Structure 1
Amino acid sequence: MPTIYRILIAALILLTTAASAAADDWRVVKATNQARYTVDRTNWLDLSPGDLVPNRAWVSTGPRGRVQLARGVESITFHPNTLASIATDGFLSRKTEVVQQVGSLDLEIEKRSQPHTTVQTPYLAAVVKGTIFHVTVGKSKASVSVDRGLVQVTSFASGQQSNLGPRQSATVDSKAGMTVRGQATKPGITSVTPSLAKVPVVGTTKIAGAVEASEAKNKSSAAGKDKGSSASSDGNSANGKGSGSSNASGNSGGNGKSGGNGNGNSGGNGKGSSGKSDNNSGGSGNGNSGGNGNGNSGKGDSGKGDKNSGGNGNGKGKDK
């Protein structure tokens, strides 16, 4: 065979392979700043509209994350706190497997004569020819609901199977097995051989840390804000800057010499101590939240007293 023909055949094969690879790639249509992907399960990269997601990559969304992927007429939307990967194999007969460990996916799959897309979860597998359906995976169960087309759902542990049509759904619980529902007609359930799931439950693999880390960061941020607000409130109360009014009673607990009396009135909210104040012949001591302490006849301590959040405190000194 002449060299020129060999070169042309090689070039044709390369172009066909490249076109096939491009057709297998999912492109980002929409994405928030909490959408990321990884190809090595360690290093995570942010996703932006227009990016190509490599085959077999894991995609993760945070508590406020969302991303929509498209490939031709097909699309997959990741809702918040979702972790899944998409793998496509085959040359002439392309098959796609979605491995969904946790979260919610909306899928629109191209219709073909033979089943070509499978969604694997820790509790069930969904096989489709072409349809619009939704899959949600939690810590102990998973569910599938169908808008259009036909989806075959199989429960691994309980050995149950059901074919879902439009407006029908199935839920597989790790303990209770499969339950089905339908708005018009209820789908049937048949028995199959129990099997093991390909996908581990979330939290049992390193890859699951992507979603868990986002959740922990979100909770930590919220806790920090609450703690800061609480600290600010306590600080204002200690400085006598309480707000509002209250009739809760408190104790000034003052100790005074020579019949000294300490009285404090609080108009604020907060908890703090009236502090130590030495009063000589009518000196004054500052209490909590704008309270006033007065001592009479000699040297007295307004005392260490805690007033409760806007309470009225009265204390009587003891003579020595």
Structure 2
Amino acid sequence: MFAGRLARCLSVLILVSLVLGPSFAGAEEWVVKRVSGIAYFVAPGVEAYRVEKGMVFEKGFTMGTRPGARALIARGDETIAVGPNTTFAISKRLSRGTRTTLLQRKGTIEVDVEKRQRPHFTVETPFFAAVVKGTRFEVRVREKQARVSVERGVVAVEDFASGDRTELGAGQSASSAPARKVGLSVAGKTKPVVSPGAKRAPAFETPAVKNVPAHSGAANAQADGPSGNVGASHAGSASSASKAGNAANSGAGGNANAGGSSNSGGNGASGGSGGSAGSGSDNSGSSGNAGSNGKNR
């Protein structure tokens, strides 16, 4: 009798694992929940292709949104709201398991992540890194400055040019504009305390910015993969999206930046770093300008 009950319990456990297993396996993936306007995914060796609802945001890929475009990326209850004219990547080297590091080149993202015992989510810009345990916050990146503001929770901010460090709570913000002033500028009803720390380079190479430390050759060798020109004639077609997805599954690494003003009739072609990333839709042969320079880690 006992053996019969044990067998039934084991059968139920096996059935539950078979049903829930795929959900658990996909729990670490960031998935596109909504997209409006024109947005692209791109990576070295992968043609740029249109972002669509239901696609997985692969590690090592870059998302670029054009003017007026928006997207919502989610992993369970955690979300990343992407604004127009935004370019960012999920670092392949620095993202492990449920730990995620975003490399934000420009634009605006708003992040809402769950609270955990240890920090598991980081946003790196060319000017500072923002590390969180669980919070809702926004990061805005412009050509020569970046700003992070917190709506809920706590965000630790580390400035690259000065080494300044601070912790932001709800209603507080910090900004960095090293070409004008070295160090963090903080604000809020209660002004955050800024402490000194060690300077360091961003996690990915950036265009030369005054006072921001540069990477050594050794650091560059540890990059996810090269960024540069990624051709995309007919990138918007279903076949191209399928090819890009297959390339993503094969482990293409690194980050390039997609999304720019379109020019009819152009075709992308692969090449060196800092070039243009082609993007098109519905086999129209359009191409777009990218904002990528250097390598990403």
CA deviations on 1:68-117 (whole Å, 9 max, x unpaired) are 11111100011111111124413xxx311111111110000111111111
- Aligned residue for 1:80, secondary structure, equals coil
* 1:123–1:21 CA distance, 2 compared to 1 (3 A): farther
Alignment-derived partner of residue 74 in structure 2: 70
5+ residue gaps, structure 1, are 1-11, 219-320
Partner Cα distance (1:166, 1:21) in 2: 34
- For the pair 1:195 / 2:200, whether they are aligned, the reply is yes
Alignment-derived partner of residue 117 in structure 2: 113
- The structure showing larger relative contact order (alpha-carbon pairs under 8 Å, at least 6 residues apart) is 2
Partner Cα distance (1:149, 1:160) in 2: 20
Displacement after TM superposition at 1:171 (Å):
0.4
Partner Cα distance (1:33, 1:177) in 2: 37
| TM-score normalised per structure 2 | 0.61
Q: Are the counterparts in 1 of residues 43 and 227 from structure 2 also a CA contact under 8 Å?
A: no
Q: Are the counterparts in 2 of residues 39 and 54 from structure 1 also a CA contact under 8 Å?
A: no
Partner Cα distance (2:60, 2:44) in 1: 10
Output the amino acid matched with 1:196.
A
Partner Cα distance (1:57, 1:129) in 2: 24
Q: Are the counterparts in 2 of residues 128 and 152 from structure 1 also a CA contact under 8 Å?
A: yes
Partner Cα distance (1:163, 1:97) in 2: 18
* 1:215–1:177 CA distance, 2 compared to 1 (3 A): farther
CA deviations on 1:171-211 (whole Å, 9 max, x unpaired) are 01123123433332000111001111112336996365523
- Aligned residue for 2:27, secondary structure, equals helix
* 1:128–1:110 CA distance, 2 compared to 1 (3 A): same
Displacement after TM superposition at 1:215 (Å):
3.5
Partner Cα distance (2:169, 2:111) in 1: 15
Partner Cα distance (1:202, 1:65) in 2: 25
- For the pair 1:161 / 2:146, whether they are aligned, the reply is no
5+ residue gaps, structure 2, are 1-15, 209-225, 229-254, 265-297
* 1:48–1:189 CA distance, 2 compared to 1 (3 A): same
Alignment-derived partner of residue 148 in structure 2: 144
Q: 167-176 or 81-90: which moved more?
A: 81-90
Partner Cα distance (1:202, 1:13) in 2: 49
* 1:79–1:28 CA distance, 2 compared to 1 (3 A): same
Displacement after TM superposition at 1:128 (Å):
0.2
Q: Are the counterparts in 2 of residues 101 and 199 from structure 1 also a CA contact under 8 Å?
A: no
Alignment-derived partner of residue 44 in structure 2: 40
- Picking from 173, 177, 187, the partner of 2:182 is 177
Q: Are the counterparts in 1 of residues 42 and 258 from structure 2 also a CA contact under 8 Å?
A: no
Output the amino acid matched with 1:153.
V
CA deviations on 1:107-157 (whole Å, 9 max, x unpaired) are 001111111111111110000000000011111111100000000000011
Displacement after TM superposition at 1:15 (Å):
9.6
Alignment-derived partner of residue 85 in structure 1: 89
Q: How many residues are matched? A: 204
* 1:44–1:116 CA distance, 2 compared to 1 (3 A): same
* 1:181–1:194 CA distance, 2 compared to 1 (3 A): closer
Partner Cα distance (1:48, 1:190) in 2: 43
* 1:55–1:23 CA distance, 2 compared to 1 (3 A): farther
Aligned residues: CA RMSD: 2.9
CA deviations on 1:228-247 (whole Å, 9 max, x unpaired) are xxxxxxxxxxxxxxxxxxxx
Displacement after TM superposition at 1:13 (Å):
11
Q: Percent identity?
A: 32
Q: Are the counterparts in 1 of residues 68 and 84 from structure 2 also a CA contact under 8 Å?
A: yes
Greater fraction strand: 1
Runs of 4+ in 1 over 4 A off after TM superposition: 12-21, 202-205
- Aligned residue for 2:26, secondary structure, equals helix
| TM-score normalised per structure 1 | 0.57
Partner Cα distance (1:114, 1:60) in 2: 30
